[in-house]
Amino acid sequence: MKLKIFSIVIMLNCVSVFYSHAQFRKYSNDFLNIGVGARALGMSSAQVASVDDVTSGYWNPAGILSITENVQIGAMHCEYFAGIAKYDYTAFAKPLTNKSKAIGLSIIRFGVDDIPNTLFLKNADGSINYDNITSFSVADYAFIGSFASTTPIKGLTWGVNAKIIHRTVGEMAHSWGIGADAGVQYKKENWKFGLMAKDITTTFNAWSFTFTDDQAMALLAADNIVPTSSTELTAPKFIIGACYDYKIGEKFSINPEINIALTTDGKENVLIPSKFLSVDPKLGIEANYMKIIYLRAGIGNFQTATNDIDGGKITTMQPNIGIGLHIKKIMIDYALTNVGNFSSSLYSNVFSLRLDLTPKK
């Protein structure tokens, strides 16, 4: 019975999300808001100003110009909800010959595999036949191509992303979509500033469905709607940030950063909600010793919740911590992230790896 309920809930959620007709959807393509790199997640995603490695292709494409190696490769794997959902990321970035331009490619997959399909669990006579249970996967893919360039203004760089998005629900439904991001970074002395415009062109996903007659009849028999082809739109989101490099002697430095995300897809449960523009701040800090050992912390995901004791409203938040180790050409990062509010016990362990490739002289 638990197996049947779980599979039906998964399928109904998928169907309800898909049934839209060229309209903006709140939290559309939300898997692209999870983030990449344990460094960033340990700092609660406060990255738009300071990011300067291969993960810039996700956080702010202008940052890939800060890569000094010939090629930089990054990868990350993490699991959510007790291992039910798996998130994988890999990327590379490369400065071009004159170092005034750079390119990159990032690939992201977020999926839930082996979901029981119980549409035909019951036979026509009402009897239950467990042999009729099959399985399917729900997966979201993003392919992000990045380009960055310098400007005549010293310290100012810009970058753009072109995104291709592919989402699947077994053999029953799939979508293709395209979109674009744009970002800038400005560095002056110990200050770094950043601006990222995500989905600046309004990203869309065009859905198509291939239900068989038997599947359609099974959905209708359960009082569900059989979805038809539709288009889902993702509204633009703007992130501004500032970071300061505070040096302590010759070996230590501390880098606090603040990011403020401005969403335009309607009122959200964030620190400052609004129908026109919701404001979601994120705070992160990184300390390092000789750029070898890194300690990180951050706080974000401010939300309003109901107090279970008196029913009043309270503000919750999500803390994160992380560490990093830089050994020659290898960077290993770890983050402990809290999925939920401050008192939640659901934590995710995130590991990421970065490798610098330098050509032989």
51's enclosing H/E stretch is none
Which pLDDT does position 2 carry in this prediction? Answer: 37
Spatial CA neighbour of 190 closest among 108, 248, 115: 248
Confidence of residue 223 (pLDDT cuts 50, 70, 90): low
At 23-72, the pLDDT tens digits run 667 667 889 999 999 999 999 999 999 999 999 999 999 999 999 889 99
Q: C-alpha 347: how far from its chain's center?
A: 17
Q: Please determine, for residue 17, whether its predicted confidence score (pLDDT) is greater than 50.
A: no
What pTM was computed for the model?
Answer: 0.84
Which pLDDT does position 172 carry in this prediction? Answer: 81
Which pLDDT does position 5 carry in this prediction? Answer: 35
Structure tokens at 77: 């794997």
DSSP per-residue letters across 197-233? EETTT-EEEEEEE---HHHHHHHHHTT------EEEE
Q: CA 260, CA 238: separation in Å to the nearest integer? A: 8
Structure tokens at 227: 């979805």
Q: CA 161, CA 266: separation in Å to the nearest integer? A: 24
2-357 belongs to CATH 3.90.850.10: no
At 124-170, the pLDDT tens digits run 667 787 777 777 889 999 999 999 999 999 999 999 999 999 999 88
Q: Please determine, for residue 208, whether its predicted confidence score (pLDDT) is greater than 90.
A: no
Which pLDDT does position 20 carry in this prediction? Answer: 41
Q: CA 285, CA 272: separation in Å to the nearest integer? A: 22
Kindly tell me the burial class for residue 240, based on how many C-beta atoms sit within 10 Å of its own C-beta (0-12, 13-18, 19 or more): middle
User: Stretch 214-226: mean pLDDT, rounded?
Assistant: 67
At 284-328, the pLDDT tens digits run 999 999 999 999 999 998 888 777 677 778 888 889 999 999 999
16's enclosing H/E stretch is helix 2-18
251: DSSP letter:
T
Q: What is the residue extent of each domain of the chain? A: 2-357
Q: CA 141, CA 212: separation in Å to the nearest integer? A: 25
